[in-house]
Structures are given as C-alpha cells and as structure tokens.
Amino acid sequence: MYENERRFGATTAHEGAAFDEGLRQHMLRVYNYVGAGLVITGLVAFIIGNTPALYVPIFSSPLKWVVMLAPLAFVFFFSFKIQTMSAATAQTTYWAFCGVMGLSLASIFLVFTGASIAQTFFIAATMFGATSLYGYVTKRDLSKFGSFLIMGLFGVVIASIVNIFLGSSALQFAISVIGIVVFIGLTAWDTQNIKEQYSENFDQESRQKLAVFGAFSLFLNFVNIFQLLLNFTGERE
C-alpha cells in the first residue's frame, strides 16, 4: 500500500512538473508574439513618421481617418472571427494588425520628440511587465473586476472617438488618467486569463490560436498604456 501511494505521488509530481513546463512554454510563446508585434509596429511607425513622402499624403488628407480607425476595425474582426480562424490565419491577421497599428502610430513622430517617445516606451514597458507578472503569480481571483474593466474600456473608446471631433484637452486628460488605470487592470486580468485557459490537452492548433489571441490582448493593453502615458510624459516638437 505504501509503495502504491509513493508511486501515485511520484506520478502526480511528474504530471505537475510537465504541466508547469507546458504552461511556461505557452506564456513564453505569448510574450514572444507581443515582443515581435511591438518591433513590427515600432519599425512601421518610425519609417513612416520620418519619411515625408509617406506621411504627408496620409496625414494631410482624409486618409488619416482611415488610418486612425483601422486598428479598431481589426479589433472587432479579430474578436468575432478568432474561433473560426485557423492558427495560420490568426497569425497572419495578428501581424497585419501590428503593421496597421504602426501606421496609425506614425503620427507620434510628428508631434513628440524621439527622446520622449523612447522614455515613455520604457516607462510603459516597466508598468506593463510588473502588472502582467502580478496577474501571472497572484492567487487572487481577478475575474470579479472583469465587468468593471470592460465597461471602463468601452467608456474610454467611445470618449476617445468623440474627442477626435471635439478636441477637448480636459476630456483628453480624463481619458488618459482613466485609460491608464483601465489598461493596467486589463493587463493583469488578461494575463491571469491566458494562464488559466491553458490546457496540456489542447492540440497544437488550439494552443497556437490561444497564444496568438492572448498576445493580441496584451499587445493592445501595452500600446494603449504607451499612448496614454505619452500624453503626460511626451515632450512635443
């Protein structure tokens, strides 16, 4: 009997170690997607934002509205289609989204100095990393905050669209403050969700899609934290 219990304990420990290793690989895959996506976005934004032949036709014409709203269209498309996409299609859509986001962010190089953009990026990266780590290691159930965060997200998005036409500095300040709090909360919540949704019983296709969609959520949080912080810390040209 003692021998059976010992074998059972050893088997359970082995299974637990295998699950932990699988989860670690899954989270690394998610963060690798986020990192690669940010590289693509940054390169596209930098190249376009520093090339007059590219940014003048875009940002001096009605095309700028298409560029500014295109990432939002990708968000809705990705959210509604992820369940029916193949893993390959999900990856392609994600990379395309990162490129479009870079196109949308190119205007920051026309408004802010390069030094302040770099400084804000590192501040945002630090905040994002610390919050995501908290979401990963905490034992506290963050799901109860989900509904409030989602409502806050919709409020920030709607207010941001309205302020495109109003141009109110007071409203922009409120959006930035509330938005940073919302996206920091979403980073922790999304990280915990990504961790809990992982299962070693998923096939490779399902794991790949789960990693891409998890990266998509965290990527969005980071970009929004960065943009909102830039309104506070960015030094204008």
What was the pLDDT predicted at 10? 46
CB 35 within 8 A of CB 61: no
CA dihedral 181, 100, 171, 143 (to 10 degrees): -30
Quick one: pLDDT at residue 216?
A: 93
pLDDT on residue 65: 77
pLDDT, residue 44, reads 93
The answer to whether 45 and 112 are in contact (CB under 8 A) is no
DSSP code, position 236: B
Structure token digits, residue 63 = 């095309």
At 15, give phi and psi (nearest 5°).
-65, -40
Distance from C-alpha of 217 to C-alpha of 75, rounded to nearest angstrom: 9
CB 195 within 8 A of CB 78: no
DSSP run (H or E) holding 189: helix 169-197
pLDDT tens, the chain, 237 aa long: 545 544 444 456 555 677 778 788 889 999 999 999 999 999 999 998 888 887 788 777 777 777 777 787 888 887 787 778 888 888 999 999 999 999 989 888 888 888 889 999 999 999 999 999 999 998 888 888 877 888 888 888 888 878 778 777 788 888 888 889 999 999 999 999 998 887 656 677 778 888 999 999 999 999 999 999 988 776 666
Q: What is the pLDDT of residue 159?
A: 84
The pLDDT score that the predictor gives to residue 12 is 60
The candidate with the shortest Cα–Cα distance to 178, out of 201, 196, 154, 194, is 154
Q: How big, in percent rounded to 5, are the helix, strand and coil portions of the chain?
A: 85, 0, 15
What separation in angstroms does the CA of 21 have from each of 15, 16, 25, 110? Answer: 10, 9, 6, 45
Residue 194 and residue 27 in contact, taking contact as beta carbons nearer than 8 Å: yes
Measured distance CA(138)–CA(148) in Å, rounded: 19
CA distances from 177 to 131, 137, 167, 184 (A): 17, 26, 17, 11
Q: How many CB atoms lie within 10 A of CB 153?
A: 19
Residue type, 115: A
User: How many whole angstroms separate alpha carbon 35 and alpha carbon 39?
Assistant: 6
Burial grade of 102 (CB within 10 A; 0-12, 13-18, 19 or more):
buried
